[in-house]
Structure 1
Amino acid sequence: MFTAIKKHITLWCTLTAVLITTSTSLHAQVNNIGAFLRAGAEDATILTKAYLKPFPTGFGTGLNAGWNESATAKNTLGFSLQIRPSVALVPGSAQKFDISELDLNKIVVADGEDPVTPTIAGNDKQGPLLEIYENRNNQNRKLGEFNMPAGSGVSAIPAPIVQASIGLLKGTSLAVRFFPQTEIGDYGSFGVLGGAVKHNLNQWLPGGDFWPVDVSVMAGFNRIDIDGDLTLDPEGIRNPNDPSLVENPNPDFDDQQLTTTTNAFVFNALVGKSLPFISVYGGVGYQKASFDLEISGDYPVNTDVAGQTFYNVLTDPVSFGIDSESNVHMLGGFSLNLGLFAFYGEVTLADYFTANAGVGISFR
């Protein structure tokens, strides 16, 4: 038995590594936004928010799935260890956006280019050529140009989930998700922290112990931090009239960082039935996610001086948050218990359809 458990845990570790790599690979697409800073902090913020708009909803919906094994809490000191990846499907309307509809100050879409460009969840096809001017309404001074980055080519946003659950007293159980902040290849670092509490309601309802179904409520929270490096090298020489020249005479372009934090919260009311080998459940709930992004470090931004291109330096130029669009949802799922091992499945019906499935060790 212990050999089988050891092999099972080894499989979990392998699958977890694959899932994290997949998730961070998607997130690594964010590194392409360094080019946005060529137009300055304000336009870079507008473009970045539009490009990343599907991420908090898709990633947050995925993180909010998979907390449940049944509609009842685990028995006292019951335990399970699970790997339950989720995939949220991004609708077509969120896979692209129109740059011409953004309130940009220095950027225009080049003549002959299609202004519709992929979001991070869109096609793996390079976006239109954008031109940067000192003032988009006065296009006599062109400062540079760049192409919008391609989408990831993945319209399904994955969320890797590994969790442990334990039964407490009074029909209450606790689930925990944790992965320490870890460097993942060239993608940057990745860390997870989360927890959920479930409580049975039958014990508090009139005749509830004799009801043919189990009724419970649960609340969960996730936090995922993903960091990565950016690369935006200077072109030409520094502007001698750069406003930041005195306070930052020696900028460090090797320490450019992108830091993101995703927080996801979910509340579900569940009803279901547990039989000896299978449990089924359904419910309704409310979920919310927020995505915070910060670009820190020194960045060169082209500027025109007497017909020549120099660069100014921006420090810590971008910081913003995006809230998810998904709120009320319905869900349904099951767990199949075969001795020590269990199999899980769950779907969530919301703005972004989400499927969650996995395997685990479970008892009581």
Structure 2
Amino acid sequence: MKNKIVLFTVFMLFMSTLKAQTSTQFEQIGYLLEDALLYSKQYLIPATDGAVYQASSAWIDSAKRKKDWQISVGIHANTFKVPNSDRSFTISNSDFKFFEIQGANSLEVPTALGNDTSVSLVGDLGGQQVRLKTPKGVNQEFIIYPYLDFSFALPSGSEIIGRFSNKTDLKRGDYQVYGFGVKHNLSQYFPKLESKKIYVSALSFYSNEDISFDFLDVNTSFGNLGINNLNGIVDTYHYQLSVSKEIKKLEILGSFIVNISDFNYIVSGEKGDIENLIPAQQIINGLLDTIQKRKTNYIGEIALNYSIEKLNLMSAFAFGKFMNFNMGISYKVN
């Protein structure tokens, strides 16, 4: 809130230096930016919430202690099911200060995870109509992306684990994740458990999720506003406890995951012509700071790991607010 007050104070001081006949128009641009903030919050948050689940799954392929210095590399396919409740939200004319919905008082519009429909919003700026099409969603029931992972076993019963994905095309945007963590085997201190082929491990890891979408292409008599791209950047700290039971070559794992995520939203891309008059991107990014927040998630996961000599085949199902599926294959280098 403090950032919002400071930015609008600067904005209003800037407007006071303009000629009287244009000050009202710049005030209207301020309202336009507030409407963009309102829309961006409801449009992108379901996608960043889902990104946390996508980054949380299938970090532990085995709760057993691995052989000292063992190196494994793998490739995974992650599948996130988009829930119906996060595919749309309702907008009303009463929500906006500048725009109105063309031909309606309220409508249901897609979030970033929604369908590919769009509606028109219109406003008046100095006697000229400003029109924009609302951003579309990815229009996918399942979001699938591949990633690479690796692990390196230390003599203490610990493992260093990492993962990385290239940017994945989401039709209307991109998704990318990377992360690293440390796993430690706990059952090595309880020989009676391991004699029954029951294993326990704890993992702490960090992941970064970057999700971006095409946003609002707004043209005014002062030039384009330069808010065509909206990014959600999420820093997440995960804590996981896993228990497994080995039955011949099959290992059945159950895990409980707690993660704490910090969300940051920014508009990016090429700045608009209006930057010659006002720092539009800076103003709206300052407003977006006001919706940054921290969230805690509790996630359950069930996984199966099947070993065939140097190969491990794994499937995992994570559940909580969302559902996430993961399948992968890893190779033991040594």
Deviation at 1:87, TM superposition (A): 1.9
CA distance in 2, matches of 1:199, 1:57: 28
| Superimposed CA distance per residue, residues 179-224 of structure 1 (whole angstroms, 9 cap, x where no aligned partner) | 58x898x999876431121111123348444454111111221114
Q: Report the counterpart of residue 174 of structure 1 in structure 2.
A: 160
Aligned equivalents of 1:172, 1:59: Cα separation in 2: 27
**1:361 CA drift (Å):** 1.0
> How many percent of aligned residue pairs carry the same amino acid?
20
CA contact (8 A) 2:222 2:273 kept: no
Q: CA deviation at 1:277?
A: 2.1
Q: Which runs of 5+ in 1 are unaligned?
A: 1-36, 135-139, 239-250, 302-310
Paired position in structure 1 for 2:181? 196
1:342-361 to 2 correspondences below 5 Å? 342-361=312-331
Q: 2:272 maps to which residue?
A: 299
Aligned residue among 282, 286, 293 for 1:316: 282
Distance 1:333 1:158 in 2: 18
Which of 68, 72, 75 is the aligned partner of 1:76?
68
1:261, CA displacement in angstroms?
A: 2.2
CA–CA distance in structure 1, aligned partners of residues 176 and 112 of structure 2: 21
4+ runs of 1 displaced by more than 6 Å?
186-190, 227-231
Shift of 1:73: 3.7
Q: Which residues of structure 2 form unaligned runs of 5+?
A: 1-28
Q: SS state of the match for residue 169, structure 1?
A: coil
User: In structure 1, which of residues 247, 260, 264 is the aligned counterpart of residue 236 of structure 2?
Assistant: 264
Residue 281 of structure 1, CA deviation: 0.6
- SS class of match (2:92): helix
The 3 A distance-change label for structure 1 pair 206 and 336 is closer
* CA deviation string 1:73-115 (max 9, x = no partner): 4221122111112222222111110112884322222333651
Q: Tell me what 1:286 maps to.
A: 258
Counterpart among 114, 120, 142 of residue 129 in structure 1? 120
Q: Which residue of 2 aligns with 1:116?
A: 108
Query: What corresponds to 1:86 in structure 2?
Result: 78
* Residues 58 and 157, structure 1, Cα contact 8 Å, conserved in 2: no
SS in 1 for 2:149: strand
TM norm structure 2: 0.75
Describe the superposition over 1:286-337 as per-residue Cα deviations: whole angstroms up to 9, x where unpaired: 1233442222453356xxxxxxxxx966243433355586611211101112
Q: 2:138 aligns with which of 152, 174, 182?
A: 152
2-structure distance, mates of 1:339, 1:360: 11
Equivalent residue runs for 1:29-44 within 5 Å: 40-44=32-36
Give the deviation of 1:118 after TM superposition: 0.8
2:159 match: secondary structure: strand
Distance in 1, Cα, partners of 2:216 & 2:32: 15
Q: SS of 2:155's equivalent?
A: coil
Within 1, Cα distance between the matches of 2:221 and 2:213? 26
Partner in structure 2 of residue 9 of structure 1: none
Deviation at 1:234, TM superposition (A): 4.8
| TM-score of the superposed pair, with normalisation by structure 1 | 0.69
Q: Deviations over 1:19-64 (max 9, x none)?
A: xxxxxxxxxxxxxxxxxx9963222121111111211121110111
The offset of 1:263, in angstroms, is 2.2
Task: Spell out, residue by residue over 1:119-161, the C-alpha distance to the aligned partner (whole angstroms, 9 max, x if none).
Answer: 11111222x3222246xxxxx9674222212221113333432
Q: Residue 95 of structure 1 corresponds to which residue in structure 2?
A: 87
